[in-house]
Amino acid sequence: MFIELDLQSETPIYTQLVDQIVEGIASGVLQPGDPLPSIRSLAEDLGINLHTVNKAYNLLKQEGLLQVHRKKGVIVQPDGMPGVTEAFEEKLRRQLRSLAAAAAVRGMAEEVFAQESRAVYREMIANRGRG
Amino acid sequence: MFIELDLQSETPIYTQLVDQIVEGIASGVLQPGDPLPSIRSLAEDLGINLHTVNKAYNLLKQEGLLQVHRKKGVIVQPDGMPGVTEAFEEKLRRQLRSLAAAAAVRGMAEEVFAQESRAVYREMIANRGRG
Amino acid sequence: MFIELDLQSETPIYTQLVDQIVEGIASGVLQPGDPLPSIRSLAEDLGINLHTVNKAYNLLKQEGLLQVHRKKGVIVQPDGMPGVTEAFEEKLRRQLRSLAAAAAVRGMAEEVFAQESRAVYREMIANRGRG
Amino acid sequence: MFIELDLQSETPIYTQLVDQIVEGIASGVLQPGDPLPSIRSLAEDLGINLHTVNKAYNLLKQEGLLQVHRKKGVIVQPDGMPGVTEAFEEKLRRQLRSLAAAAAVRGMAEEVFAQESRAVYREMIANRGRG
DNA sequence: GTGGTCTAGACCACC
DNA sequence: GTGGTCTAGACCACA
């Protein structure tokens, strides 16, 4: 698996899991319809609790990024990803505002901040052309 | 006071406080040397406990954004803000990556994401240049 | 536990706690990776409030001497201790200067003061090499 | 006056005052019998409260480093400084132990620590040959 | 009056 | 059970 956890981090493990799976989808490592490891096997691989994996999968399911089938197991949403909703935009802006403020206070210029954002995005989708 | 809290939010109150003060400094509402309300008075104004305010103030003091003058009160760092350190850049990128992934997955294009970042930054510092 | 507090002392309890834990690490009683008592149990053992223990643990975490594993508990930094930074040297010198002045005023000779320092250091690490 | 205060420091102003005067005596800048500024004038010079200066002077008087006369004002103890008492040694060792532990934990060797102590002492009395 | 410290007791997220 | 957060209320050192 491509997932790396930092057990000493302040961010909860399930959050890290969610983030990494989302990044996996964004980067194309995980394609629509692709299967994800079963809760049990992923938990075992990562050495964490079943509940933790379950919580992450459930959150992603609620967001519409995953589908959970009784038999097929867990797969990446094949029927089209959720779009950019009003709620999402609002949440995104709120978080960007916090980051922008911290950057501005430390003297990082608007242009640099924007470039940083662009670079991070670009880097993330850089490897999309895989199988 | 210009601070608005969402007591129902899942983000800790002291975090909201920290964010809002940083935004206050970034936007110029709070200028270097400006006094902040005393711990007790701010706590009372916001209807929260003084320890919560104290925690927020202390975090900002650690980051070098505030100074705590013994017995005089709390003021915005007058001796130059902290710069863009390696650690800060890393933290910024990590958080941007998470946001970028969520945006990319929902089909928000690179250009839109970058523009969004720029817009948020610009909006934040738009009102600088007051008294 | 090896910790002894003087509740009557004018030095804050959390400071005494910090000092004793640092001495514990320096002397080898606490080895990298060793677990520390949970906040609550230590607080109970010492007959103090859990917030006081929490404050001490957090300070040591900031300094990089402890790691707080979410829900697993607190352990002594296993990934290498922080080194001698510029800031640390400065702080050390400032405090030594105060001690040296008091000693010099009372007629304690340079050699005696230096020997005293060396002796204290040596005594502290004398029992290393257990377990 | 040779006294410099850091109003943002965590150490109380009166403590800083005490330290600086002790260092003044140790370094020979202040000789036995030398007059110190009156409480009022020193407070004014430093821009601090009368009580603060008074407290510092009183502490130093109790330690036997100063004499306070109704008419002569405040002078550096002319009748011999206090010696190295048992109590002083104990206090010195306790504080050295704390410093030594912090140094040892960060990997500063015994020799370096001892040298550091010696150097600080020496530097302090380096200018003793004044008028 | 200000921040610093401490206590007692509570709820929650996490695992 | 663990740490994280929050509240309520208290005393103290400092200026």
Which pLDDT value is given to residue B1? 61
Best of A11, A22, A79, A90 to disrupt the B interface (most B CBs within 10 Å) is A22
> How many whole angstroms separate alpha carbon D60 and alpha carbon D39?
13
Considering the entire predicted model, what is its pTM?
Answer: 0.91
Our measurement of CA D129 to C1' E13, in angstroms, reads 66
Architecture of domain A13-76: Orthogonal Bundle (1.10)
Residues C15, C59: contact at Cβ < 8 Å?
no
Which pLDDT value is given to residue A33? 94
Which pLDDT value is given to residue C130? 53
- Minimum mean pLDDT among A122-131, B48-57, C108-117, D106-115: which range? A122-131
Which pLDDT value is given to residue D8? 81
CA nearest B112: which of A126, A29, A84? A84
Q: In 3-state terms, what secondary structure has residue B36?
A: strand
Strand E contact residues in chain B (39-98), C-beta within 7 Å: 39-41, 51, 54, 57-58, 68, 70-74
Measured from the CB, is A19 under 7 Å from any atom of strand E? no
Segment holding A69, helix H or strand E = strand A66-69
- Write out pLDDT tens, residues C1-23: 689 999 999 999 999 999 999 99
Distance from CA of A8 to the nearest CA of C (A): 5
Which pLDDT value is given to residue C1? 61
Distance from CA of A7 to the nearest CA of C (A): 7
- Give the pLDDT band of residue A2 (cuts 50, 70, 90): confident
Which pLDDT value is given to residue D1? 56
- Domain regions of chain C by residue span: 13-76, 86-125
- Give the pLDDT band of residue B128 (cuts 50, 70, 90): confident
Give yes or no for A127 touching B (CB within 8 A): no
Who has greater pLDDT, C131 or A104? A104
Instruction: Calculate mean pLDDT across residues A71-91.
Output: 93
In chain B, the residue whose alpha carbon lies closest to the alpha carbon of D12 is B70
Dihedral sign for Cα atoms in the order D15, D16, D19, D22: negative
Interchain pair A13, C68: CB under 8 A: no
Which pLDDT value is given to residue C129? 65
Per DSSP, D61 falls in state H
Which pLDDT value is given to residue A114? 98
Interfacial B residues in 22-81 facing A (CB < 8 Å): 22-23, 25-27, 65, 81
Regions in chain D scoring below 70 on pLDDT: 1, 129-131
- Write out pLDDT tens, residues B13-47: 999 999 999 999 999 999 999 999 999 999 999 99
Q: In 3-state terms, what secondary structure has residue B59?
A: helix
Show Cβ contacts of residue A6 under 8 Å, excluding neighbours closer than 6 positions: A16
Residues D104, C125: contact at Cβ < 8 Å?
yes
- Give the pLDDT band of residue A72 (cuts 50, 70, 90): confident
Residues C22, D103: contact at Cβ < 8 Å?
no
Show Cβ contacts of residue C75 under 8 Å, excluding neighbours closer than 6 positions: C33, C34, C35, C36, C66, C67, C69
Find the Cα–Cα–Cα–Cα dihedral A108, A110, A115, A116, rounded to 10°.
40
Measured from the CB, is D13 under 7 Å from any atom of strand F? yes
Q: What is the DSSP string of B101-115?
A: HHHHHTT--HHHHHH
> How many whole angstroms separate alpha carbon B82 and alpha carbon B63?
8
Our measurement of CA A75 to C1' E4, in angstroms, reads 54
Our measurement of CA B57 to C1' F7, in angstroms, reads 18
* Distance, CA of A118 to chain centre: 17
Interchain pair C105, D19: CB under 8 A: no
> How many whole angstroms separate alpha carbon C56 and alpha carbon C39?
10
> How many whole angstroms separate alpha carbon A28 and alpha carbon D64?
77
Find the Cα–Cα–Cα–Cα dihedral A53, A59, A63, A65, rounded to 10°.
0
Best of A7, A8, A48 to disrupt the C interface (most C CBs within 10 Å) is A8
Is a pLDDT exceeding 80 seen at residue B72?
Answer: no
Which pLDDT value is given to residue A130? 52
- Write out pLDDT tens, residues C59-114: 999 999 999 987 778 999 999 999 999 999 999 999 999 999 999 999 999 999 99
Residue nearest to nucleotide F7 (CA to C1'): B49
Enter the tokens of residue C90. 């400065």
Site of tokens 């009557």: C8
Which pLDDT value is given to residue A1? 56
Residues D113, C117: contact at Cβ < 8 Å?
yes
Which pLDDT value is given to residue C113? 98
| Contacting residues of C for A12, CB less than 8 Å apart | 70
| Contacting residues of A for B23, CB less than 8 Å apart | 97-98, 101
Interchain pair D101, C27: CB under 8 A: yes
CA nearest C77: which of C36, C42, C38? C36
Q: Residue D70, exposed/middle/buried by CB under 10 A (0-12, 13-18, 19+)?
A: exposed
- Minimum mean pLDDT among A21-30, A58-67, D63-72: which range? D63-72
Looking at C7-131, which runs of residues are DSSP E strands?
A: 35-36, 66-69, 73-76
Distance from CA of D42 to the nearest CA of B (A): 20
